[in-house]
Structure 1
Amino acid sequence: MAKCDFCGKGVTFGCKVSHSMRHSNRAWKPNIKRVKAIVDGSPKRVYACTRCLRSGKVTRAV
């Protein structure tokens, strides 16, 4: 679910590093919103990241 339908941004994995430099696995999740947007001329519920919403890649349906 955590994937933007417009740019494909998804979960990224890496290591959490503590103050004592111990490593453990973690995930960075994108800021995904479920919005009503115009897709192929009709309004549809899609998942979009806030970067796409802000930049204008997504046309919101009112």
Structure 2
Amino acid sequence: MQRCEVFGKSTGHGNMVSHSHKSTKRIWRPNLQVMTLNVNGSELKVRVCTKAMKTLKGKNVDQVRKILLENKENLSPKIAKALFSVK
């Protein structure tokens, strides 16, 4: 299953409804891209949705850390480990 490693956005399920109101199953997938994040001095390649890319682009290290801490319940284990590791 596709999942954003920062915001936790995942696939959505629902019905596609035709003009005659015949319903068929469909899936909405998040637009995931690979991005390199600098977390506590280590560079991580993460799969993030484009909304997260726009939020994180151009931010300095302290601002990125603040955004990640605000979304700590949705973080992937890889980012959480790098974020909370003591150096």
What's the TM-score, normalizing by structure 2? 0.60
What residue number does 1:22 align with? 22
What residue number does 2:66 align with? none
Tell me which amino acid in the other structure corresponds to 1:44: L
> 4+ runs of 1 displaced by more than 2 Å?
56-59
The answer (yes or no) to whether the contact 2:35–2:53 under 8 Å persists in 1 is: no
What residue number does 1:2 align with? 2
TM superposition shift of 1:56: 2.2
Tell me which amino acid in the other structure corresponds to 2:47: Y
Query: Which structure features the higher share of strand residues?
Result: 1
Query: Which structure features the higher share of helix residues?
Result: 2
| Number of equivalences | 59
1:58–1:20 Cα change, 3 Å: farther
What residue number does 2:48 align with? 48
TM superposition shift of 1:58: 8.6
What's the TM-score, normalizing by structure 1? 0.81
% identity of equivalent residues: 34
